């Protein structure tokens, strides 16, 4: 079972900050998930398109300059990170799942990953999104990085949903646990991950379905799982 620290195990520290990611890694995370948006040619680690929930700012992030965004408090004195900072922090210590949240993120991320030192981390990356068009653009620009397809809701035909995407993993909501979709994904050779699992009893139930991993807000989830199973994660 692989565990991804969702937004850097955001129950433990301010979400999508370097502090949260560093704490997750210190707690033994083998996977870290972040969200990125693009603005003024830079890639920022931010989940919402507005600033009110996660920072001391307000309104759309697109209404502010990069300098102004970087001066905001994202919690406990943390700044909104650039994706480059996260890549350097995680390095090869864990799998990094980068979720594309805003339009136009695919191209800049693909360009960044061709540059040193970031190209060395491509083998430890998963790029995911609910936006299938954005994922397809990224696939065209950067075909050597694993893709994860995010889905929310029921699926009638998984191959039809996947279309031309060459994905390696399917990321499913815990609100729609469909044994048929899991079986179809396995038939296609895909890893299956569920989000966002914050209840240990639910984790145990999901583990019986032979899924590959989960996203969680709490570092205690994977620590407790490892303790109970007395086996290394991965």
The CA-CA-CA angle for residues 74, 119, 191, to 5°, reads: 80
112 within 8 A of 84, measured Cβ to Cβ: yes
Which H or E element spans position 96? strand 95-100
- 234: in domain: no
- 221: in domain: yes
- 26: in domain: yes
What pLDDT is attached to residue 214?
Answer: 98
pLDDT classification of 230: cutoffs 50, 70, 90: confident
**Domains in the chain: how many in total?**
1
What pLDDT is attached to residue 26?
Answer: 97
Query: Which residues 6+ apart lie within 8 Å of 230 measured at CB?
Result: none
Domain, as residue range, for 54:
2-229
Cα–Cα distance between 38 and 82 in angstroms, integer? 10
The CATH code of the domain that includes 87 is: 3.20.20.190
Percent with pLDDT over 90 in the chain:
97
- 129: in domain: yes
Cα–Cα distance between 41 and 104 in angstroms, integer? 10
Buried/exposed code over 87-101 (b: 16+ C-beta within 10 A; e: otherwise): bebbeeebbbbbbbb
49 within 8 A of 61, measured Cβ to Cβ: yes
pLDDT in tens, 93-108: 999 999 999 999 999 9
- 87: in domain: yes
- 216: in domain: yes
- 36: in domain: yes
Question: Has residue 234 got a pLDDT over 60?
Answer: no
Q: pTM score, two decimals?
A: 0.97
């Amino acid at each position: 079972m692989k565990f991804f620290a969702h937004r850097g195990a955001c129950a433990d520290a301010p979400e999508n900050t370097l502090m949260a990611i560093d704490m997750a890694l210190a707690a033994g995370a083998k996977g870290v998930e972040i969200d990125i948006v693009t603005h003024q040619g830079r890639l920022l680690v931010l989940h919402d398109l507005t600033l009110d929930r996660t920072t001391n700012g307000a309104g759309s992030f697109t209404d502010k300059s990069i300098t102004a965004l970087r001066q905001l408090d994202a919690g406990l004195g943390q700044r909104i990170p650039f994706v480059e900072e996260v890549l350097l922090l995680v390095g090869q210590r864990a799998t990094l799942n980068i979720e594309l949240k805003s339009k136009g993120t695919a191209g800049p991320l693909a360009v960044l990953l061709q540059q040193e030192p970031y190209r060395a981390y491509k083998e430890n990356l998963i790029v995911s999104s609910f936006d299938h068009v954005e994922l397809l653009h990224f696939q065209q620009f950067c075909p050597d990085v694993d893709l994860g397809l995010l889905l929310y809701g029921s699926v009638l035909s998984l191959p039809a949903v996947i279309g031309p995407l060459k994905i390696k993993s399917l990321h499913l909501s815990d609100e729609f646990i469909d044994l048929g979709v899991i079986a179809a994904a396995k038939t296609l050779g895909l890893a299956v991950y569920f989000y966002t699992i914050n209840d240990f009893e639910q984790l145990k139930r999901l583990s019986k379905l032979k899924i590959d991993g989960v996203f969680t807000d709490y570092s205690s989830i994977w620590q407790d799982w490892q303790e109970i199973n007395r086996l290394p994660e991965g």
